[in-house]
Amino acid sequence: MGTALILLAAGQGTRMASDRPKVLHKIAGAPLLHHAMASGRALEPERVVVVAGHGAEAVSTAATAIDPNARIVIQDQQLGTGHAVAQAMPALEGFSGDVVVLYGDTPLIRAETLRAMREAREAYDVVVLGFEAADPGRYGRLVTDGDALLRIVEFKDASDEERALTLCNSGIMMASAEHMAMLVGKLSNDNAAGEYYLTDIIALAREAGLSAGVVRCDETETMGVDTRADLAGAEAVFQARARAAALAAGVTLTAPDTVHFAFDTALGRDAIIEQHVVFGPGVTVETGARIRAFSHLEGAHVSRGAIVGPYARLRPGAELAEDVRIGNFVEVKAAEIGAGAKVNHLSYIGDASIGEASNIGAGTVTCNYDGVFKHRTEIGARVFVGSDTMLVAPVSLGDDAMTASGSVITEDVPAGALGIARARQETKPGLAKRLMERLRALKSRKGT
């Protein structure tokens, strides 16, 4: 039986104090909505429906960026969670599998938790995700008999005995499309807020002779993001999970609490990540590579045996082959660095390719931008680029070529050739001493 996802993402999130839709605020470099959708992918859904409202165009763009097949429906008026699900149901017409309701501002649900809910569906018609709260506060309480759910009681309606319960409602639910449509269709807004509450479907299910059950998860999984403080808290939970997963997978983190992961960081076994390394989105570090302290990587691929840093920056399009060395205060962008090549000091390599075993001297810059267009620099294999060389693109250096230190290279250097492009040095005997004496005398006169 297939699965469909309904993601509720219509809220404005006024407590975020932001013009941006709440679900587009980011943790680990990705919108909250992307995290929620990624969790749901564990169920291999046949359909994904995102309910948008505030900032619908931006939410739609974000949703389709991660899933081009996602269907977007608009909730023009935010009349409660039940109303939001009702807006989504027409997009599931003809679908006969299970429907899972997730929330775009709840980014930390684990894949295994959703799979446990699917397993529980074999025993219950409706499954609700619950959590044991350290401080239940004003959460709705789940009244159960074992794993069977008897009812959901909102805090304001709960008795003292029910308020003493610590099993709370996450709002995440699963049922067949047929039952979900039937139950949502029976919801009423006869309450003080005039809204349609999804939680009311449990009572409606029992009235219809349907069964309901509970799957329990850790409280951190159900953390909703309503404020900037919540956003920071969710980031901390994500980072702790990512670090623990990396360590368990055989990655060495010399100071785990200082390493910052993106949502899609991929690290190979026996990679070594030193302290204060930041991974932006789109980074893969292969087995045995080493990322040294205070380096920042984004949109980059680092192959086996490569060493990056310390204090290096890899920008999108940086492709490092095996055993490459990228040293301190080096920036690489949209460039392929061949096996065994070295760029060790104070250099910028952008829109370029460097062949295997080449050595790029300190202070080298590929001058790739003319103010309007970007241009390529092509460096062959076993090339030696002298320190402080400016390579004015478009330009190429052939295999086994060399440039003299301090050169400004504006023309191609053929294979095996030496390129020299600097003014001839002149030496003026005694001029430095006379000049300094004159300047000191001038300074003394100005002082008096």
The CATH number of the domain holding residue 390 is 2.160.10.10
**In this predicted model, what pLDDT tens digit does every residue of 328-343 receive, in sequence order?**
999 999 999 999 999 9
Catalytically active residues, by annotation: 345
**Cβ atoms of residues 253 and 235 within 8 Å:** no
Whether 164 and 267 share a structural domain: no
Whether 199 and 263 share a structural domain: no
- Whole-prediction pTM: 0.90
Residue 441 lies in a domain: no
Cα distances (Å, whole numbers) of residue 255 to 103, 259, 370: 34, 7, 41
Last residue of a domain, one of 202, 222, 242: 222
Residue 426 lies in a domain: no
Residue 238 lies in a domain: no
Whether 167 and 270 share a structural domain: no
Residue 262, pLDDT > 80, answer yes
Residue 28 lies in a domain: yes
Output the DSSP codes for 272-295: EE-TT-EE-SS-EE-TT-EE-TT-
Domain holding 129, by residue range, is: 3-222
Tokens coding 84: 């939001």
| Burial class, 138, CB count within 10 angstroms (exposed 0-12 / middle 13-18 / buried 19+) | exposed
Residue 410 lies in a domain: yes
- Residues 351-367, mean pLDDT to the nearest whole number: 98
Query: Half-sphere exposure (CA, 13 Å, Cβ side) for 169?
Result: 26
Q: How many CB atoms lie within 10 A of CB 142?
A: 26
Residue 138, pLDDT > 90, answer no
- Residues 21-37, mean pLDDT to the nearest whole number: 96
- Residues 418-428, mean pLDDT to the nearest whole number: 93
Average pLDDT of the chain to the nearest whole number: 95
Query: How many domains, the chain?
Result: 2
